[in-house]
Chains A and B, each alone.
Chain A
Amino acid sequence: MIGDQSPGQIEPTAERRVVVTGYGCLTPLGAGAPASWSALISGQTARCPVSVIPVQGCRVTEGAQAQIPPLVGFSRRRLSRLSRAVRLMLPAVHEALAMAQLLDADGFCSQPYLETAISTTACGMEMGEHFLQSVWNNESRGRLALVAHYQAQQQILELQRRFRFCGPSMVVANACAGGANAIGHAADLIRAGMADVVLCGGYDALCELVFSGFDCLQALSPTACRPFDRGRDGLMLGEGAGFLVLEEAEHALRRGARHHAVISGYGHSTDTGHLTQPDQGGVPLEKAMRQALAMANMEAANVGYVNAHGTATPFNDQAEAKAFHRVFGCESTRLSSTKAATGHTLGAAGAIEAVFCILALASGELPPQINLRDPEHLVENALVKLGEVAQLESVMSVNLGFGGSNAALILSKQ
């Protein structure tokens, strides 16, 4: 299956290093990576009453919602038809492409052919919800626009249309591990010699079906999201988008693009025990983490910081704490979950958290574990305190998802 690269073919080489030349995010903490990072590092949380979707009747009505900046270059009519998911995605992609020097003077992608690997769990779900309502309420007007903006390929199409590029698009839906999978897959494509540059990341918007789904599972915290706290009582749903431009190192060098990190390891595994609950020993997650370390040819002690999945559900954090303890032991590796601040952004989580990892690598500042009162003993000494700094050479980002998806990424300075 060769010949699918355009223009020309790319020959696989023995060593193809994958570097990050651009990144961007839109989170409930802020529009753009600097704003999100600044709020994160100062220990803020975005928790607030949810107003962008109807949540009346739910047990929990708080979450983390993003403020979407005005989108330029769209007519009012077209803007009104874009799903919230697309409106979250476009600013994050713009930031990533701009940083990678892949935008021309008119704000379009300077590469007309650009491969994408993108994660989502809910696509443009609010469009699907409105469509079902229209069928049940016998309202046929406007259905085409709803149908035309619901599915994942429509969001990718909007992205390609806005930035004027084409190319293969891979949309991974591995639940909450999908964002990390999208980045890992992009790196895999480059390592395999199947691409030189890939735009990758994830997006998800708050929507009624998913919010109610987590609420009826009683997985949402009625109080505060407290990852790795023994009194944790559930997660906080959020929304957002995170995107990275990955590039083969020589390719980046040739065009003079600066690299901000190296994707040095990627591991993924499937927990086959239960659809929603992770293995309580954290064994499949450990496998993914060790795979990533093996790919990076790295000892666990070389990883200075781990951005945990840390949803703050009783089951997730217990499994993760055990896996973390076995892999990193009592070494100096620091640990925190940023979901207490941003909320759980589902298909975007792995990508947003990878962006935070790059910022930690660059600045040496560590995202604090907020909302902590009574820490889990296994990881008590590893949890990051407000204001901590460290000399980091490599960091790990870990994600788990429904269906047993586990993913671990290692990002390094060199």
Chain B
Amino acid sequence: MIAGLLSYGVVCPGGLGVDALEKKWPVVECSSASGHRTYPVSLTDTSLQEFTEWSRAPRMRRSSHISYFLIEAARQALAGAPHIDLSRTGVVVSFFLGCIDYSVRFYRQMNKDGRRFASPILFPETVFNSPISHAVSILGLGGPVYSQIGDKASWASALRTAECWLRNKTADNVLVISAEEFDPHELDAFEAAGWLKRGNLIPSSGAGALLFSRMHSSSIQISNLSDGNVFFSRKDGTAAVRRGLSSLASDCPVLACATSWTMELQREVIPSHRLLAQPNPCVEAFTVSAAWDTIRAVRLLERDGELSEIIVPFWGLAQQFSAAQISRRPARLTP
């Protein structure tokens, strides 16, 4: 990537901060909204003091947990680079489901109490870009802001947007963030999609943020990105993954981060000796998992002198496959 990776922030079921990624995360049983059965979930603890603090900010009083997760991850990343110019810092947020909690509550309310009696307070918070609007306001960021949506693979699209802004000098620094909250209706949806069949997808929540800069170099960079490897059916998935990986280094280790039906694809396409195991396999927070996995790869490269490159696949369960190649080498700044 034509920019240095300055810092990162993590909100995950293991707690706050990057070290929490390495812990074994709690898994509990949760009933689906229909009450038909329970499934294991691994969720971020919403009672943490930091979230309570954010909820006291006047703007955040009515927001849901996704906003607290997002702003906390962004705060950590910004704290790691206190010297940057916030007025020239842009933000790209990548969501899979976004503000699902309030969306369900609002729709239930209008069905239960009548359309005109649904809460006018809830509705604006259901909009995809509400969480980042709060964060930008509170953190004082002045650069461009996009909320992007899609499956897990769309994390790569958020990284491309960051690159585009940095290349065009629309911003000097870009925060790329993802955040997800959890609602039990997700279990019914994922069950219907067949994603929970074999117990190899554990829904999760949290946030992850990476801060890139064109003004500073760093030893770790995203050196290559493979995006837009579309599949129209699961059967097409193998070809899409092979196509996606073909433009990346063919011999470097690959982070094992497939869940649900893509685990089979991972087994089929990537030899087991190339796979780097994870402390919390099967936990899936979609674009947030993509952020966590990107940060994990960066940490591995920072710690392990033997490793110079890692591929992080982003296994979209619905539309496409993408992947990032993360390398330890001097960053090339924009001319």
Residues of A with Cβ closer than 8 Å to B? 1-4, 6, 12, 55-59, 113, 115, 120-121, 123, 128-129, 131-133, 135-136, 138, 140, 143-144, 146-148, 151-154, 156-157, 160-161, 166-175, 181, 185, 188-189, 191-194, 208-209, 212-218, 268-270, 272-273, 275-276, 401-405
Contact = CB atoms under 8 A, between A and B. Distances in A.
A123 B285 CA distance: 20
B154 A144 contact: no
Contacts, number: 235
A97 B127 CA distance: 30
B230 A160 contact: yes
A214 B110 CA distance: 12
B193 interface: yes
Contacts of B151: 151, 153
Interface in B203-245: 222-230, 232
B116 interface: yes
B106 A144 contact: no
Q: Do most interface residues of chain B lie in helix, strand or loop, or is the interface mixed?
A: mixed
Contacts of A214: 123
Contacts of A181: 146
Contact of A138 (B34, B129, B225): B34
Given A174-B129, A276-B124, 7 more contacts: A2-B1, A3-B224, A4-B228, A131-B185, A143-B189, A170-B157, A404-B133
Interface centre among B59, B128, B225 (most CB of A within 10 A): B128
Interface of B: 1-2, 33-34, 59, 95-98, 103-104, 106-108, 110-111, 114-120, 123-130, 132-134, 136-137, 140, 142, 144-151, 154, 156-157, 159-161, 163-165, 167-168, 170, 185, 188-189, 192-194, 222-230, 232, 247, 316, 318-320, 324
Given A135-B33, A148-B193, A1 B1 contact: yes
B256 to A, nearest CB: 23
Contact of A402 (B34, B129, B150): B129
A171 B193 contact: no
A216 B120 contact: yes
Contact of A192 (B115, B117, B137, B168): B168
B238 to A, nearest CB: 15
Nearest to B125: A275
Q: Do most interface residues of chain A lie in helix, strand or loop, or is the interface mixed?
A: mixed
A115 B320 contact: no
A3 B225 contact: yes
A147 B189 contact: yes
5 contacts: A1-B324, A3-B225, A4-B156, A170-B161, A188-B170
Contacts of A156: 150, 319
A168 B164 CA distance: 14
A273 B127 contact: no
A188 B157 contact: no
A58 B136 CA distance: 33
Given A1-B2, A213-B123, A213-B126, A58 B318 contact: no
Contacts of B147: 172-174, 403
A146 to B, nearest CB: 8
B167 A56 contact: no
Given A135-B33, A188-B165, A402 B127 contact: yes
Contact of B95 (A173, A268, A401): A173
B34 A56 contact: no
Contact of B133 (A6, A138, A272): A272
